[in-house]
Amino acid sequence: MTLSMLVAGLAMAMVGAPVEETPVMCPLMKFAGKQLPGYSMDYNGMRFFVCCKGCIARFEKNPKEGFTRGLSLHEGKAVAISLFNPIDGMRIEAKDAVAYADHQGVRYYFAKADEKKTFEASPEKYAKIAETESLWCPYCQLEDAKYEDAIGYGDYNGVRYYFYCPECGELLQKDPAKYASLVDKKWHRAPGITK
């Protein structure tokens, strides 16, 4: 091993190596999902990959039931990927992550190695799945907004608010009551599917 290889390896260990994306399981069948755009659906801030076109319609018909089925079918394995870092609520992709943890069927990615430690010390605190959400931002006013368009989320009074620009995120973090008051309650809903 050369000195330059040793230094490069040490530097990678210090900042954290990129995470290699591994397949998650189809929530409806005993196969790995195809990680292709046409075989994925987003539900409740999570991305699900199915094994075939037939599973797409089945999952879309009742995603909550599909998720529950996946948990029992693939005990101990991931059936979904969270689109957001559970520690800070910000959007993250596998290529930008340095670590991940699987918890209750969901794979969570982290931007820093210490975030994984924080998560694993108290996963129930961070791995909350929203029962009510709002994808409508009072400033951006994107009526057809999708989970993948959001740059982050914040939880307040039982509602998960997704935001689409840094200014909205700052207001939501600094004054969640004010942010929530700007969102018309007609935009509150049970989690749904977005493509």
pLDDT in tens, the chain (195 residues): 433 433 344 334 444 544 555 679 999 999 999 988 889 999 999 999 999 999 999 999 999 999 999 999 999 899 999 999 999 999 999 999 999 999 999 999 999 999 999 999 999 999 999 999 999 888 888 767 899 999 999 999 999 999 999 999 999 999 999 999 999 888 889 998 876
Contact 108, 82 (CB under 8 A): yes
Please tell me the predicted confidence (pLDDT) of residue 21.
59
CB 109 within 8 A of CB 95: no
Beta-ladder partners of 84: 91
90 Cβ contact partners less than 8 Å away, ≥ 6 residues apart:
84, 111, 151, 152
* Predicted local distance difference test score (pLDDT) of residue 64: 94
Which residue type occupies 124? E
pLDDT the model gives residue 127:
95
Which pLDDT belongs to residue 138?
85
Which tens digit of pLDDT belongs to each residue from 64-115? 999 999 999 999 899 999 999 999 999 999 999 999 999 999 999 999 999 9
Cα distance between residue 47 and residue 109, in whole Å: 12
Note the pLDDT of residue 13: 40
Tell me what pLDDT residue 195 has.
67
Question: Rounded to whole angstroms, what are the CA distances from 168 to 47, 88, 111, 181, 183?
Answer: 23, 15, 21, 13, 12
Q: Which two tokens stand for residue 95?
A: 């290529």
Q: Could you tell me which of 164, 151, 159 has the C-alpha nearest to residue 181?
A: 159
pLDDT of residue 131: 93
**For the whole model, what pTM was predicted?**
0.85
* Beta carbons within 8 Å of 71's beta carbon, 6+ residues apart: 79, 104, 105
